[in-house]
Structure 1
Amino acid sequence: MAAGDYVFGTSQKEVMAIVSGQLIVTLPSEVELSIFKTGESFIILANQEFKVTVKNNTAYLCT
């Protein structure tokens, strides 16, 4: 992902694994930001929306 701010939605449960870089994430129903770095992951349940900020190029795998 290139630097920027994004909003994603899910249709099914997804695991977001950070391959390189980091994502700054506002998880559903959360007010505080969470930072996920290389080797970390987080789960988003089905039918949820979440916000992501990318400061530097970042790669992730969604399963």
Structure 2
Amino acid sequence: LKNNINLNARLLHLPTELIDYVILHELVHTKVKNHSKEFWSTLDRFVGDSKFYDKQLRSYKII
């Protein structure tokens, strides 16, 4: 399995902290391939409250 990460240019319309969150989210997927408890706890080690950032991200309509 390759660990390529492709990011949408529309991310540039988001606040910097959410762009950072998306990048870290994708980087964690290089180690944990799903959204299991392990995934969220790993992401939390980098961003703190990942569920907070996930909720913030979902409030944007960039698609």
TM-score (norm 2): 0.27
With a CA cutoff of 8 Å and minimum separation of 6, indicate the structure with the bigger relative contact order: 1
Larger helix proportion, structure 1 or 2?
A: 2
